[in-house]
Amino acid sequence: MGGIKRFCHTYLFRMLMVALGVSTLCFLAVEYAPGDRAVDVALARYGEDVSPQAVEYIRMSEGLQNHPFYRYRLWLGSLVRGDWGRSLVGGEKVTLLLTTAFRRTALLALFALGLSLVLALPLGIYNGCHPGSLVDLCSAGLSGILCSFPPFVTGIVLILLLSIRWRMLPVAGFSSPIHMLLPGITLALGLAAGSCRVTAAAVLQARQSPHYAFARHKGLAGRSLFLPHGLRNAAPPVITYLGLQTAGLLDGVVVIETLFAWPGLGNLLLDAVRGGDILLVQGAGLLLGWIYVTVNSLAEYFADHFASQEKRGCP
Amino acid sequence: MPMNSERRGALLLLASLGAFLVLLFWISGDPFTQNLMERLKESSREHLLGTDHLGRDFGARLARGGRNSIFLSALCVFASGMIGTGLALLALGKGKKTETFLLFLTDTVMAFPGIVLALVLGSLTGGGISGVIIALVFTGWPQYFRMARSLLKKLWETPFVEAGRLAGFPLPVLFWKYVIPELLPTLGTMASLGWGKTILEISSLGFLGIGLAPPEPELGAMISQGLTYMRSTPRLVLMPGILISLFVLALLLLGRGGTHTKVSKEMFSHEDPSCNK
Amino acid sequence: MKTLLAINDLSIFDEAGLPLVRDISFSIVEGSALFLVGETGCGKTLISQAVAGTLPPRLTPRGSIPFRGRDLLKMPQKEREALWGRDIFLLPQEPFSALNPVLSVHRQVREIFSRVRGEKKSTSREKTHRLFASLGISREASFEEPRKLSGGMAQRALLATALASPAPLVLLDEPTKGLDSSSKESILLLIKSLLENRKTLLCITHDLSIPLEIGGDTGVLFGGLLVEFGKSRELLSHPSSPYTRGLLNALPERGLHPIPEELIQHMERAWNL
């Protein structure tokens, strides 16, 4: 199938581009960033009172003095070999930090997605079947407003309400599953706002289509009408949208993790950037970039697949 | 851009917000003067919206921060739009090889996620605003390129453009008189939506500490700074948040205006919607 | 020679009370075809909609349409919709918009057997296969989505839905609209197939060559009035109304003569339009 082959080509190409892009940028950041890298690391590692010897020690031990091109080759080489280095600050292996953080982010993201679907799909289907109803108009208004809130604003409002005012949920931390609720709900609300609208629109469009009318004229009704001719046709744009949402989830995740101190990939990347921990920045950036490429490419693939289904008269 | 009640409402909202900001600018003091004796004061004669945690006039900071967010995001969107449309016109005018190269370029760029790239670039530029702008424009132009190109392709085949070509009009004239007027509505809608989205991105990055350096106020950064004082002085956090949300809401309404029941296929399509061209 | 459907003094009024269709009466014999012909805007589609139950709500019908012992116009909308697919089948013009693009054509016919007729899944599948085979559509093709089929095959798939349906009355609205002469051939075959399968046909068309070819009865409409009615072949070879003669002369085969303006005016005066 030509489609799959082309998909693989594009996908691999993009992964490569992201890898090259991120690693080159990180390399350049090391080389040309303002200030002395060795000093930054020393400060991050040892605090304010750091001696010149410590700085020099770091400079030597981290090899921060060789020629740029040579170091670039070494840089790329170690990346390819799978040696992504150690955190300049804490010393742990980058790959280890990444895997732990990834698991946590994945947990949060999946929870948020799942919750958003539970919220959005039934509501969206109902709205598509009863357009113009009170529920439809209210949820449209609410979704519109929610969409305009930056994720951290929704999060803050939720914190103010649920944590501070009503003392229902803990704000930050990671020790128990309940800590996942507040960040998860924050993300889920933003996601649900979009998917609810899209689902409603898709269901409405399916129900207003000529083939839905024909199916009714054939004598079908109830579930045997709605499921194969309504939902089945509404599914592709919704799935496409969900794919795009998942890709965009990445941006939201970084911010939400910071707000709620959820120790995932986003938080890791941010700490790394702040601490000048360049190898960690590279690792986290790469991983996040690859996740993005994967989700995005899959979403595009399905979008094309569904789009081709809509083409008529093209054998 | 066709007018309807939603769009009118959005424009009204935008105008009010703009007026509010201008008013704030006018009546407030200096957003930079710190006065640690006057920290976290509630609203008073001198400081209409109170002071922040460093004693600075909060209203002034809101006004300036709002202005910063709006202008910066407008800059990003404008740059992305210009680059994207320009490249699309180039692809059209210069033939197959340029087009293939540009498609290849677009594909590459679309592989990069915006905020992540901004963060990584942040390491390069020390977390400054230039890195943010570069990252956002870099990840922003492909969508304009794709949309412009898809519209251009359809437009190029239409009889009236064909007539212009046969009449011998040079390419720039064709673009200016025929093509641009057709592109503007859709691209304008995209730009409006993009503007809202970019404001969100910039404030998110500001919240994370990447972007405009202090003491220059930025709404997201202000929120992040105000978090510590959230319990006692929630307005430090709520007011910038609401300001951002209202702007974005207005821009989204402006862009989407009344079309909330139509899933825009063009916005999702990644291929030419033609099967045998 | 049972009458399946009768139209008694049907009039249709718009919101302002103006009659769009006036005092139409005719009946359709079971197993035969009835063609309503006339120019655009003569009201033939409205009559079809009145029978189907798809008349726009702003229009008011008067009269009666007895069908299988009940007056269609007296039935509430819900009950009329229940007739769809079981007593009355509305055959659409264009297969590619009528057929669901994401389901196979096999599935779309099979569901008529299983859901509408209530038969078992295995029987439905068998019957669907046999039906497609009789129409010249191979098994592989039947499992494809509509867009993968050629125009002719899709048309035949659409015919299959009508044949699979238990409804005895099939309504066709302008089946040859915009088709070239070779596609018209397939429409004629379609109509003949339906009649062979003992369906009763009510066909709205502006194309006089169809009733000429098929036979049955024909009613000529002008300005919402039934100008002439009778056996197709007789009426169209020896028309009594000058309007019908005018329509015939307008056929491409007879020279494409436009209907004379004086005739139109005469008719409008005569019928108080």
Alpha carbons within 13 A on the beta-carbon side of A72: 12
In the chain, the amino acid numbered A114 is G
* pLDDT for residue A63: 61
Q: What is the pLDDT of residue A41?
A: 66
Long-range contacts of A60-64 (CB under 8 A, 24+ apart): A62/A38, A62/A88, A64/A30, A64/A37, A64/A38
pLDDT band at A227 (very low <50, low <70, confident <90, very high): very high
What's C168's DSSP letter? S
Q: What does the alpha-carbon distance between residue B241 and residue B204 come to, in Å, rounded to a whole number?
A: 11
Most A CBs within 10 Å, among B119, B197, B223, B224, to test the A interface? B119
The complex's ipTM?
0.87
List Cα–Cα distances, C208 to B200, C183, C192, C251, in angstroms.
64, 16, 16, 8
Q: Other CB atoms closer than 10 Å to residue B138's CB: what's the count?
A: 20
* 3 state DSSP class of B261: coil
Rounded CA gap, B68 and B217, in Å? 8
Q: Which residues of B touch A15 (CB under 8 A)?
A: 111
Q: How many residues does chain A have?
A: 315
d(CA C2, CA B83): 74
For A314, the closest chain C residue by CA position comes to C147
Residues of B in contact with A149 (CB under 8 A): 241, 244-245, 248
Put simply, the answer to whether B263 touches A198 (Cβ < 8 Å) is: yes
Assess whether the previous peptide bond of B215 is cis (omega < 30° from 0): yes
CATH number belonging to the domain at A94-313, selected among 2.60.40.10, 1.10.3080.10, 3.40.50.300, 1.10.3720.10:
1.10.3720.10
- Chain C residue with minimal CA distance to A310? C101
Residues B153-175 have a mean pLDDT of 74
Give pLDDT, residue A31.
66
Contact B269 A15 (CB under 8 A): no
pLDDT at A207: 92
Q: Is the pLDDT of residue A149 over 70?
A: yes
What pLDDT score was predicted for residue B97? Answer: 82
What pLDDT was estimated at residue A38?
66
**CB proximity under 8 Å: C 73-132 to A:** 81, 84-86, 89-90, 92, 94, 96-103, 107, 111-112, 115-116
- Amino acid B6 reads E
Report the relative pairing of strands C3-13 and C60-64 from DSSP bridges.
antiparallel
**Does the pLDDT value for residue A119 go beyond 90?**
yes
Give me the DSSP letters along chain A. -HHHHHHHHHHHHHHHHHHHHHHHHHHHHHHHSSS-HHHHHHHHHH-S---HHHHHHHHHHTTTTS-HHHHHHHHHHHHHHT---B-TTT--BHHHHHHHHHHHHHHHHHHHHHHHHHHHHHHHHHHHHSTTSHHHHHHHHHHHHHHHS-HHHHHHHHIIIIIIIS--S--S-SSSGGGGHHHHHHHHHHHHHHHHHHHHHHHHHHHTSHHHHHHHHHT--THHHHIIIIIHHHHHHHHHHHHHHHHHHHHHHHHHHHHTT--SHHHHHHHHHHHT-HHHHHHHHHHHHHHHHHHHHHHHHHHHHHHHHH--S--
What token pair was written down for A306? 């569904």
Strongest mean pLDDT among A170-174, A288-292, B95-99: A288-292
**How many C-beta atoms surround the C-beta of residue B270 within 10 A?**
15
Query: Are the C-beta atoms of C20 and C45 separated by less than 8 Å?
Result: no
Q: Are B187 and B104 in contact (CB under 8 A)?
A: no
Residue B200: pLDDT band by 50, 70, 90 thresholds? confident
Can you tell me whether residue B209 is helix, strand or coil?
Answer: coil
Q: Do B268 and A198 count as a contact with CB atoms less than 8 A apart?
A: no
What are the Cα distances from residue C157, in Å, to A239, A241, B50?
29, 33, 74
Predicted local confidence at residue A172, as pLDDT: 67
As given in the structure block, the two tokens for residue A101 are 């953080």
- C-alpha pair distances (Å), B160 with each of B155, B171, B184, B273: 9, 14, 17, 21
Minimal C-alpha gap between C173 and chain A (Å) = 14
Top pLDDT among B275 and C51 is at: C51
Please state, as a whole number, how many other Cβ atoms lie within 10 Å of the Cβ of residue B177.
Answer: 11
Least confident span in A75-89, A123-137, A267-281:
A75-89
For chain B, domains (ranges, CATH) are: 58-276 (1.10.3720.10)
CB A115 within 8 A of CB A188: yes
Number of residues written out for chain B: 277
Cβ-Cβ contacts under 8 Å, A312 against chain C: 96-97, 101, 146-147
Question: pLDDT-based confidence at C87, cuts 50/70/90?
Answer: very high
pLDDT score at B266: 39
The answer to whether B208 contacts A33, with C-beta atoms less than 8 Å apart, is no
Does the pLDDT value for residue B270 go beyond 70?
no
> Residue C171: what pLDDT?
94
Q: Are strands C169-173 and C88-91 parallel, antiparallel or unpaired?
A: parallel
Q: Residue A218: which residues within 8 A CB-CB, separation 6 or more?
A: C84, C85, C89, C111, C112, C116, C161, C165
| Chain B residues closer than 8 Å to A296 by CB | 110-111
pLDDT of amino acid C129? 92
pLDDT tier for residue B265 given thresholds of 50, 70 and 90: very low
Collect all residues of chain B within an 8 Å Cβ-Cβ radius of residue A200.
Answer: 261
Alpha-carbon distance of C175 to C210, in angstroms, equals: 10
Long-range contacts of A117-123 (CB under 8 A, 24+ apart): A117/A192, A117/A195, A117/A242, A119/A188, A119/A189, A119/A192, A119/A196, A120/A191, A120/A192, A120/A193, A120/A194, A120/A195, A120/A196, A120/A199, A121/A195, A121/A196, A121/A199, A123/A192, A123/A196, A123/A199, A123/A200
Q: What's residue A36's pLDDT?
A: 65
d(CA A43, CA A47): 5
pLDDT at residue A115 is higher than 90? yes
**Cβ-Cβ contacts under 8 Å for B7 (sequence gap 6 or more):** B1, B253, B254, B257, B258
Average pLDDT value for chain B? 77
- Average of per-residue pLDDT values in chain A: 81
Chain B partners of A276 at a C-beta cutoff of 8 Å? 123
Q: Check CB contact of B277 with chain A, cutoff 8 Å.
A: no
| Ranges A55-69, A71-85, C183-197: which has the least confidence | A55-69
Q: Do C96 and A313 touch (CB under 8 A)?
A: yes
* Residue A278 exposure: Cα atoms within 13 Å on the Cβ side: 25
What is the pLDDT, as a whole number, of residue C273? 64
Rounded to the nearest 5 degrees, what angle is found at the Cα of C127, between the Cα atoms of C125 and C130?
110
Least confident of B83-92, C65-74, C98-107: B83-92
Question: Mean per-residue pLDDT for B204-212?
Answer: 85
Long-range contacts of residues A159-165, Cβ cutoff 8 Å, at least 24 apart: A159/A259, A159/B230, A160/B230, A160/B234, A160/B238, A164/B230, A164/B231
Dig out the tokens for B202 from the structure: 């910039």
Res. B267: pLDDT tops 70? no
pLDDT the model gives residue C33: 93
Distance separating alpha carbons of residues C261 and C263, to the nearest angstrom: 5
Please judge whether B245 and A153 are an interchain contact, meaning their C-beta atoms are less than 8 angstroms apart.
yes
Among the partner-chain residues B200, B245, B263, the one whose CB lies closest to the CB of A202 is B263
What chains are in contact with C, requiring at least 3 Cβ pairs below 8 Å?
A: A
Mean pLDDT of A186-202: 91
Q: Of the spans B37-51, C127-141, C179-193, which averages the highest pLDDT?
A: C127-141
Highest mean pLDDT among A167-171, B136-140, C82-86: C82-86
Say yes or no to pLDDT of C212 above 70: yes
Quote the CA–CA distance of C181 and C3 in Å, as a whole number: 33
Q: Report residue A182 as tokens.
A: 């507040």
Which candidate from C98, C148, C165 shows the least CB-CB separation from A315? C148
pLDDT at A30 exceeding the cut of 70 = no
Measured distance CA(B254)–CA(B137) in Å, rounded: 22
Instruction: Report residue C164 as tokens.
Output: 């699979």
Confidence of residue C170 (pLDDT cuts 50, 70, 90): very high
Q: What percent of chain A has pLDDT over 90?
A: 17
B24 CB burial (10 A radius; 0-12, 13-18, 19+): buried
**% of chain C residues with pLDDT over 90:** 35
Mean pLDDT of all residues in A92-115:
88
Q: Which residue, A308, A305, A298, is CA-closest to A243?
A: A298
Q: Could you tell me the sign of the dihedral formed by the alpha carbons of B148, B151, B154, B158, in that order?
A: negative
User: What torsion do the CA atoms of C3, C9, C14, C15 make, to the nearest 10 degrees?
Assistant: -110
C-alpha atoms less than 13 angstroms from C-alpha of C195 in its C-beta half-sphere: 16
Task: Tell me what percent of chain B is helix, strand and coil, each rounded to the nearest 5.
Answer: 70, 0, 25
Query: Residue A67: is it exposed, middle or buried by C-beta count within 10 angstroms (0-12/13-18/19+)?
Result: exposed
Please check whether residue C100 is in contact with residue C92, taking contact to mean a CB–CB distance below 8 angstroms.
no
